[in-house]
Amino acid sequence: MQESIRNIEHPGIVDHVEGREAFVRIQPQSACGSCHSKSHCSMSEVSDKVVEVSLNPQEQLTAGQPVTITLERSLGFRALFLGYMLPFLILLVSLFVLVSLTGNEGLSALIAIALMAPYYFLLYRFREKIRNKFRFRIK
């Protein structure tokens, strides 16, 4: 299988390096306009985005150096699931369950929205573990 099929790739420029971490500035490409996933991709929403990339001991990067960063495509889908799909499912299921239990749509909507707080708190609480899974690499 080709590497470009397994990975999401973005060209970028090294912004700065701190220890074993490189901060790479990515600019959305004109190809984003024709991409079928652009409505789900945060890369198409901003002019510049800086991502943190862990460096191997043998990698030596300097500020201003052009690089290509990659992320496994499966991790991109996992991020989409954690960031958008799972919260939507929690909201939708809790709303339907609460409406059927209480019969009060307004109260059910408020409680369903309030249930998002524990979800996002858990994401925040486990952010380091999640960050370790979602690592960009230098190609």
pLDDT tens per residue, range 15-64: 888 888 889 988 765 555 556 566 656 555 557 788 888 888 788 888 88
Flag the least confident range among 21-25, 97-101, 108-112: 21-25
Residue 115: Cβ-neighbour burial (10 angstroms; 0-12, 13-18, 19+)? middle
Which position has the higher pLDDT, 96 or 26?
Answer: 96
Mean pLDDT over 67-79 rounds to 82
- Helix 105-114, helix 86-102: angle, nearest 10: 150
Distances (CA, A) of 76 to 1, 9, 41, 63, 83: 18, 11, 9, 26, 10
The model's pTM: 0.60
**Whole-number pLDDT of residue 1:** 45
**Is residue 41 helix, strand or coil?**
coil
